[in-house]
Amino acid sequence: MGITHFTGLGKSPGAVTSGLSYIKHEYGERTKYGAMVERVIIFTSKNIVDGKEKAIPSVYNEYMTREWKKDVRSNNSLEIVEDFLKCEFSDIDIRVYVVDVNDFEDCFRIITQALLKFHPRGKTGKHIWVNITGGTNILNAALMQVVYLSGFIPVMYYTFIANLQQDGKYLQPFSGDEAEFLFKRLDVFKTNFDIRFRYILEKLENIDEFINDQELLSRLKNCHPDLFERMDITLFRRDYLNIMDGWCLEREESNIRINNNGKNLLSRIRSPLFSMLVGEEYSRDTEKLTAELKDREIRRS
């Protein structure tokens, strides 16, 4: 069993390839987990897949130099990345999932499904690293949220290029000078989801009208004493209601109620996919939760 890499892809193929190249040369091709790069899961837009958005001009350079190594025969980012991976890594598995890279919910859902497909909760899954260099900020925000909520992914990494206009074209690291090129590994720790937010929203949803915040806290203490019994109104307002105000609830002085965004957020939190991601649910059939991916898996090499 080797390492599976999740990555976003936009118009810059090097955002994907340079990190994988660095890992190959600096970490070695094999680890105790197997191949350092056994599988690459690419999340990208339909326009990138179809070639409607052209790749930036790319140079297949020799490792750690700006010297030419091979011709790049395509202006399609996905094709350039695939050709590079097949050339640099033997027996590599490449999979591509189309997402709306400007829609956080779509990115989050598909990335979560892909994660649970390759690392089902309650089972021994694949060893996964995540590259947060390529693609849109929205796509990478979804990747990072999935990483922190799941606890399945121990490593994120990115590559930094000081002069993107001049050096963003290279498919491999072009300099050992960290002021010009840098590979940065980020070790990850799981972030626990604070279930109190859910219980607050659920109580407000059941009431569905304005309620005094002290009365709300009193009801929460009765329902969930282990979580709210020692909480006073100052802490309740400071650490929860003030944060939620204008986001998922609305307030009129000391009276609050859930808003539409709060109802949508609660629906998302209750979803089987989210519950499986954060570890609240182990018994559901992962194949049913990830079945949609069968239609989105468009290429396997």
Q: What is the mean pLDDT for each group of 10 consecutive residues in the chain (301 residues)?
A: 94 98 93 88 96 96 97 96 95 94 95 93 88 97 96 96 97 97 94 92 95 97 95 96 94 94 94 85 68 61 49
Nearest to 163 by CA among 11, 19, 14, 292: 14
Burial class (CB in 10 A: 0-12, 13-18, 19+), 156: buried
Structure tokens at 260: 């539409």
Q: Which domains does the chain have, with CATH numbers?
A: 3-187 (3.40.50.10770), 195-269 (1.10.10)
Parallel/antiparallel/unpaired status of strands 3-8 and 127-131: parallel
Residue 5: enclosing H or E segment and its boundaries? strand 3-8
The model scores a pTM over 0.85:
yes
